[in-house]
Structures are given as C-alpha cells and as structure tokens.
Amino acid sequence: MLSREPTEEYWKRRKEVWSILIEWGFGNGLVRDINREHPVGVLEKIIESTQKRKPEDPARYFLNGLNYSRIKHGRLPLSVSLKNNKK
C-alpha cells in the first residue's frame, strides 16, 4: 500500500499556490477554478517565472503565462473558457 506522504505534499503545494494567487489579488472563485483545472507543477512553474521577473502587476503577468500555456497545449485561453463555462 502506498504511503500518504505524496498526497499530503501535493495538498501542501496546492495550498501554497492558492495563497500566492490570493496575495496577488485574485478572488477565491477564480483561484478555485485555476487550481482545479491545472496541474500544480504547471502553476508552480508560472509562479516561479513571475516571481523571477518581478513585474509591476504579477497577477496580469501570471494570467498571460497561464494563457500561453493553455494555448500551447491546445486549450482555449482562460478568459474564453470561463465565459463558456458560465453559459
């Protein structure tokens, strides 16, 4: 049987991503949707590159990077997909 350590580490990483996005000014609903739809590793890489660049508006920089990643992997940009989910 597998140990519970990887699962606990996974949720710890998810919570860290959640807190960073809230700190940057995202709302709870948007963070929940982003967190649900994307692998934690991808989110961590985009957050890391955002922190490395130190942009004036980290939230906008993060969303641009997330949309680039979505388009690169054949998905619709986040703004379009959120509108489609609400219909």
On the CB side of 64, CA atoms within 13 Å amount to 8
| 44: Cβ contacts below 8 Å, ≥ 6 apart | 13, 17
Average pLDDT, the chain: 83
- Tens-place pLDDT, residues 45-54: 999 999 999 9
| Domain range list for the chain | 11-86
More confident residue, 6 or 60: 60
What is the C-alpha separation between 25 and 9, in angstroms, rounded?
A: 25
pTM above 0.85? no
pLDDT at residue number 6: 65
pLDDT at residue number 62: 93
pLDDT at residue number 8: 74
